[in-house]
Structure 1
Amino acid sequence: MHERKQRPAVRPPLSPLEIGIEVVALVSIALSIYLTVQAWATLPARIPGHFNLAGQPDAYTNKSDLLYYPIFSSIAYIFLTLLSRITQFFNYPWAITEENAARQYRLARGLINWLKLLLIWMLVYGEWLTIEMATKQATGPGALVFIGLMLCMLLSTAVYIVAARRAR
């Protein structure tokens, strides 16, 4: 790939869309914490720990493992937020120049932010589904939501590649 040391050190300001993504991501983490706290007293000692493609539990685990959802959501948020701040050092398949640096960095940061939000939504949905199954109240699409979120991740990546290629 192209020499990273020679790239312009540009940090484009956050767009209103990026600010909105950050707010929604933080609210989603707060929702994850709320779900854990709200459901804790009503959960049995053993809860679903894994689901098959039909959205049915096929393994069980301890109730305390529910804490991993808000913890992993928070860690993912922090890690991906920090990662999105160093777009100058990413690998790009084309040269980054003074003319295209701001646009390329903004697009790369946008991709990381979208993927961060979708990952957090996957974790929140997994937590909600676990709680619903554990309390025998499960309704809804099961694994279809996970598949939809994964497809959104792939689509986001494809949109980024097309937009970044055009912005060379």
Structure 2
Amino acid sequence: MEQKPKISIKLLFTDKIIELLALIVFLSIWFLALSGYSQLPETIPTHYNGFGKADAFGNKANILVLPIVASVLAIALTAINFYPHLLNYTVAITQENAEKQYRLATRMLRCLKLIVLIIFTFIVYMTQQTSKGIADGLGEWILPTILGLIFIPIFYFLTQMSKNS
């Protein structure tokens, strides 16, 4: 196994903005879940099918599972960013291209973290709305939207990594 260069990647302005937005959304999901908890009925949707319709129900305490899972994912994606040399790349990493490749990889992970947090915040919000009878699930476009939000940035960044090899 080849050793990739271990270099420190400094955050650029764009990276700092993405991190700030992720922090705001991270705090928002917890605020939303905790502030709306007392207004929830005892039974809430706990799962949605591919068309965004609730198909399983449980205790309102389950609303806290979403911010917990989102937090674990956000922390994991943040931690991985400190070790870009451990990631797999579509091109060979050399001393010459390491900084550019690592920057693209860490920015992709930052974007994905922000997207995951936004998706989970939306699900918490819509679960609250559905529980109160204001909405009827997540909407039929939720699955293609989530898939697009996740895979389009991945495709974009992997394309950029290949171009910048």
Counterpart of 2:146, as a letter, is L
Q: Report the Cα offset of residue 54 of structure 1.
A: 3.0
Show structure 1 runs of 5+ residues with no match: none
SS in structure 2 opposite 1:47? strand
Contact 1:122 1:146 in 2 (8 A): no
Contact 1:11 1:105 in 2 (8 A): no
Q: Report the Cα offset of residue 80 of structure 1.
A: 0.5
Tell me if 1:33 matches 2:30: yes
Matches of residues 108-147 of structure 1 in structure 2 within 5 Å? 108-138=105-135, 142-147=139-144
Matches of residues 61-76 of structure 1 in structure 2 within 5 Å? 61-76=58-73
Which of 48, 53, 57 is the matching residue for 2:50?
53
Normalising by structure 2, we get a TM-score of 0.92
SS in structure 1 opposite 2:141? helix
2:6, 2:38 → 1: CA distance?
A: 51
Q: How many residues align?
A: 165
Root mean square deviation, CA, Å? 1.7
Counterpart of 1:127, as a letter, is V
Contact 2:54 2:137 in 1 (8 A): no
1:68, 1:148 → 2: CA distance?
A: 22
Contact 1:66 1:127 in 2 (8 A): yes
SS in structure 2 opposite 1:48? strand
Contact 1:80 1:112 in 2 (8 A): yes
Percent of paired sites with the same residue: 28
Normalising by structure 1, we get a TM-score of 0.90
